[in-house]
Structure 1
């Protein structure tokens, strides 16, 4: 199939299907990003890696701004961009630090409480309808996180707590993305994120500053490409469908990052990590299916002429 035909078929997909594909692509790119951060952390502090990653994203987007014209990034929602970037830099600094403290697969599994936080936040802050069944599935997902951490049976130290904090901050950034996607073009969102997160990440980087060696610069550029592509994909995913539906597709990152950790660092996740991950994935899939059924019910309802008939909460 030619690239043109493939593009046409992609454009013909439903919003939910295209959103799911964008989020799956983003998950694979974010897994690759984790590997790059772990690798570069042997030469640079995570705070400095975060700064260069944000600057690289901004630099990579400037040619698009130049060709499209400055008008493409004009916005009336400056504080929304600042809020999203504040969540983002908090999540980034925390997450990059976690990657240097514990196995990648375990850290990623814990971080996947983020979509669970997102489901709750989508109901509380974005007014999306989240019924009893999806709330129960979210609770089950958090039980999966507890299986991985095993408080009382396994030492819960700073790395595990930081991973949970990163998950909460990631959820805040995801919800901010969803809110911004209602009015802002995806590329413009990435540009403003690069601007504000470069500014926010500079002070922490200066406290640990060392100049990168020549070969490290190459990997920093690669990291910038991967990170920029991931966020472009995320923005398109959240622009296509509801946050509570899209978020669970990020679970693809778990097996992907586990394979990377095994190949690159011979890290083998223990049984509890896989069991907890399975519970989290199952809850995420259930949430996605209930959301899809709810969307179908709402779409069919007017055609049946039963506008007064209540739709079962999911």
Structure 2
């Protein structure tokens, strides 16, 4: 099997694992009533435990930086994205619905790169953005009476994670990737703890504890497969396969949680997928494509 095929396969496996982790989050927060802020804390605390060998190997000295404010801003945006993402599940939105709206993040990165970093926005980017945002509107349906502010939470996650991606792009211009990663690993959990304490800290017990441990283990495998994907093939090749996570979430929602999208949502789903996939495909080999990796 070629390295490109291996990379694509690992990326698909990562998407399946992420979908299973999302199903766990939906179950713990919405079905079992565990506070989303506490879920976010424990989820990333468990992930940090799995990351301890990496932190130990490189040491905190690798966090030396000339841009502490940018690092803190990136962490702040990342945490806000995590909180919005988790609370979207707690509101009862289906995992596939949340992921479809979060997939608009590359379009926000595109606009931010143009406005803040001075990058040129070509016709291909405008086409992708228009198609993707039109699909998002079909999924949001603001014209319906059942529309609530909770449905905007995935978009909030998309915007904040898009901002974090832009800062990451800026930081990696003159700082090593190891240091950029360490800042996030070391500080993400403590900042999530602040949100959890503010909302009323909860300690998981019984089935919730086992589900969180299961979710942490699944997330570990998801990150491992993601790393193997990028190690096996160029980011420009494997990144479009990341969009398949939308269909992984639809499949898991159907098989594990027993519900799937209504037929009226499929045009929006396919438009968001098409816009994101076209943007990544048309930017392959360019610097912006690498930034989205």
Same-fold status (TM-score > 0.5):
yes
In structure 2, what is the Cα distance between the partners aligned to 1:103 and 1:168? 20
Aligned to 1:312: none
Aligned to 2:216: 224
Which ranges in structure 2 are unaligned for 5 or more consecutive residues?
Answer: 288-293
Change (3 A) 1:235 1:124: farther
Change (3 A) 1:193 1:165: same
- Classify the secondary structure of the residue corresponding to 1:209: coil
Aligned to 2:137: 146
TM-score by length of 2: 0.80
Question: Is 2:45 aligned against 1:50?
Answer: no
Which ranges in structure 1 are unaligned for 5 or more consecutive residues?
Answer: 1-5, 296-314
Deviation at 1:119, TM superposition (A): 2.4
Contact 1:51 1:202 (C-alpha < 8 Å) held by counterparts: yes
Deviating more after overlay: 191-200 vs 71-80: 71-80
Contact 2:103 2:276 (C-alpha < 8 Å) held by counterparts: no
Change (3 A) 1:175 1:151: same
Structure 1 residues 67-106: aligned runs within 5 Å: 68-70=57-59, 73-76=62-65, 77-101=67-91, 102-106=93-97
- Classify the secondary structure of the residue corresponding to 2:243: helix
Aligned to 1:30: 18
In structure 2, what is the Cα distance between the partners aligned to 1:27 and 1:148? 21
Contact 1:38 1:99 (C-alpha < 8 Å) held by counterparts: yes
- CA-to-aligned-CA distance 1:194-236 (integer Å, 9 cap, x gap): 3212121112212322321144333323333444555573798
In structure 2, what is the Cα distance between the partners aligned to 1:34 and 1:147? 22
Deviation at 1:252, TM superposition (A): 1.1
In structure 1, what is the Cα distance between the partners aligned to 2:251 and 2:40? 24
Change (3 A) 1:184 1:222: farther
TM-score by length of 1: 0.75
Structure of greater Rg: 1
Contact 1:23 1:246 (C-alpha < 8 Å) held by counterparts: yes
In structure 1, what is the Cα distance between the partners aligned to 2:12 and 2:166? 18
In structure 2, what is the Cα distance between the partners aligned to 1:254 and 1:169? 20
In structure 2, what is the Cα distance between the partners aligned to 1:21 and 1:75? 36
Cα RMSD between the aligned structures?
3.3
Change (3 A) 1:153 1:45: closer
Change (3 A) 1:126 1:223: farther
